[in-house]
Structure 1
Amino acid sequence: MLSPPVFTNFESAYVEVIRHITDGYEYRNAPRGNTARECVGLSFQIANPLERLPFLAARKVNPVFHFAEALWYMAGRTDLDMIGHYAPRMRHSSRDGKTIVGSAYGSRIFNPVGGDSVSPFDRVIALLRSEADSKRGLMPIFTADELAVDGNPDMSCVVALHLLAREGRLHMVCYMRANDCDRGLLSDVFSFTMIQELAAVQLGLGIGSYTHHIGSAHIGDRDYDRVRRVLAEAALRPRPVTYAFPAMPADTTLATIDDVLKYEERLRTNEAEYTPDDIAGLGFAPYWQQVLLLFEAYRQIRFRGNDPVEENVQRALDPGLRWLMARRWPTRISDGSTP
């Protein structure tokens, strides 16, 4: 068998990856003082990339950040003002205190580069419309000049994303130089499969598989205890927990992303607050309404002391998103399982 192992959803892949590295790591090393267990040359495939979130109480996934990062990428942004609000630690990776360069993968996908007037994403979409079986739908991200920066704190972990249209479905292959498989892997797969979904919508295709290749797959010692708790939890369940989440609307464009981000900014800066009815009246499909409900819930968490998130917002959240939010902020949101 030369193909990578195939998993139904991301949670199954994630659990097997961290189990493999924890129990069968090849190397112990500590580049830049970050001690870790490492496997070289690890790959896996997800059959259904729409199931991109792990539902593990021990992991406490933050869906607010995952959606914010994916939108930040798809808007082609590099600013810390937005992404630093959801992930303050990213400020430590900035060279100038204002922007992220290497890790702003979307800026190299959704903005024109190298003197071109069209973005790599739009070039690839146009290519796949004109040549359905093309092998050339590659969007490079890593650039050699990143190696020329001594002690670069912000070097891209992603080499490229590759889109392949086959028999009515759009597949994606991701090439990583390195991946922290308990941290970065979760956000990377979430964002890249959302980009895959956006591209499929643009092309009018179904979602195919997502394949992830990693040069250095590692888990830091700082996360080892948590990884063990996750593995113990997963071992007690006969099958992964799943929640159905709606597919991205067929009329989604990059203009839709820009529109969503206008309201995200108002919530992020606490300049506005929205009830579920307010959000429903903005004209977005239910998919994007859920994203804005997440941002409203997070606004309340950030700016309203220790008060619980308003019950009408909690009730309006997709059950899976509410479950995740309740694990992340248990004193602010309930999972809806109790009266």
Structure 2
Amino acid sequence: MLTPLSLPGLEEAYLALLRLVSEDHDHHISARGNDAREVIGASFRLSDPRQRLPFLAARKVNPVFHFAEALWYLAGRRDLEMIGYYAPSMRSSSRDGIHVGGSAYGHTIFSPADGDTVTPFDRILELLRSEPDSKRGYLPVFTADELAISDNPDMACLAGLHFLVRDERLHMVCYMRANDLDCGLLSDVFSFTMFQEFAAVQLGLELGSYTHFIGSAHICDRNADRVHRVLLEAVTRSAPVQFPFPAMPAGTTAATVARVLEHEEVLRTNKAHYSVAHIEASGLDPYWQQALLLFEVYRQIQHDHVDTVNPEVLNALDPGLRWLVGHRWSACAAVLDGGEE
């Protein structure tokens, strides 16, 4: 019986897949001009989906984008106005310069379809409340209609998400038609495990395992040098850097997401700057205050063009997030508390 490789968190899965495709790939492909090494049919299972961030200095993960994208998805949005601020490269995948296409997974999952008043996500919750052992809690995202669009610049990589309640825990299985292991995998797993945890909170369940299946698991040749540096760091460091990721508050709802995004827009559009005291007075749970701190850090970098981010704001971040921004931006590095913690 074949089962996915079981690992505690995303960093271990990320490194295992990088090694697999780097050292034992099935094919070398050139899809749409992107030369890449590929393994067909890869998978892993995370026993703790909350450990959704890798702490690797050579990779320089962007937690600001990860939180922004997850919130953008959870709000059911598809506008470039927000997500293009955090990831300008996404603008090149838009057909009209205003909206994102197939990769706007949240619009498919968290917004009602035309002529409907209930979102697909809420229908899944209704099903699982009434029939906990159901096998039908599947949310399709990729559609065959996307293949009918000539020169489609943005086809969904996510085929669908499968929610399963077993033993009072919410498990989720993700099916990807393709994953760029060095880029898309990290942001995808961060967001999808946030979907899973958000659903578990709505259902009053404990968080179960997260399983990820990939049709085409690939590494683009243009990223081979960075992948080499990441793998080298993993085998030469004295010990992995580890920070626990907190649990999503039990009171989190769609209204919570909307409130966080109201503050996000103020910071993104530079209509205000937030002090730590301002964020603490927001009424949001400390969990979501961390997102506002990240958005304020990014506001200072993007709008104020600071050489050094406000130390008070940086030091209010959870240690893991502070470590990541300190390794991502030089304006944060000088204030990184205690060096490489």
Same fold (TM over 0.5): yes
Residue 238 of structure 1 deviates from its aligned partner by 5.9
- C-alpha contact 2:141 2:156 (8 A) present in aligned 1: yes
State the match for 1:11 in structure 2: 11
1:234-280 deviations in Å (ceiling 9; x for gaps): 11246532212221100000110001000000000000111011100
1:128-164 deviations in Å (ceiling 9; x for gaps): 1111111111111001110011111100000001110
Mapped partners of 1:308, 1:260: distance in 2? 25
CA 193–294 in structure 1, closer or farther in 2 if over 3 Å, else same: same
State the match for 2:330 in structure 1: 330
Q: Give the stretch that moved more between structures: 231-240 or 216-225.
A: 231-240
SS at match of 1:213: strand
Q: Which amino acid aligns with 2:338?
A: S
Unaligned runs of 5+ residues in structure 2 are none
CA RMSD of aligned residues (A): 1.2
Residue 114 of structure 1 deviates from its aligned partner by 5.3
State the match for 2:95 in structure 1: 95
Q: Which amino acid aligns with 2:37?
A: R
Mapped partners of 1:330, 1:15: distance in 2? 25
TM-score (norm 2): 0.97
State the match for 1:290 in structure 2: 290
State the match for 1:271 in structure 2: 271
State the match for 1:39 in structure 2: 39
Q: Give the stretch that moved more between structures: 107-116 or 170-179.
A: 107-116
State the match for 2:129 in structure 1: 129
Mapped partners of 1:70, 1:238: distance in 2? 32
Mapped partners of 1:225, 1:293: distance in 2? 32
What is the percentage of aligned positions where both structures have the same residue? 61
- C-alpha contact 2:300 2:306 (8 A) present in aligned 1: no
State the match for 1:254 in structure 2: 254
Q: Does 1:144 align with 2:144?
A: yes
State the match for 1:71 in structure 2: 71
Mapped partners of 1:259, 1:24: distance in 2? 46
State the match for 1:52 in structure 2: 52
Q: Which amino acid aligns with 2:10?
A: F
SS at match of 1:317: coil
1:184-229 deviations in Å (ceiling 9; x for gaps): 0000000000000000000111111000000000000010000000
- C-alpha contact 1:137 1:164 (8 A) present in aligned 2: yes
Unaligned runs of 5+ residues in structure 1 are none
Query: How do 1:16-31 residues align onto structure 2 when only pairs under 5 Å count?
Result: 16-31=16-31
Q: Which amino acid aligns with 2:79?
A: D
Aligned length: 339
SS at match of 2:191: helix
Mapped partners of 2:285, 2:337: distance in 1? 24
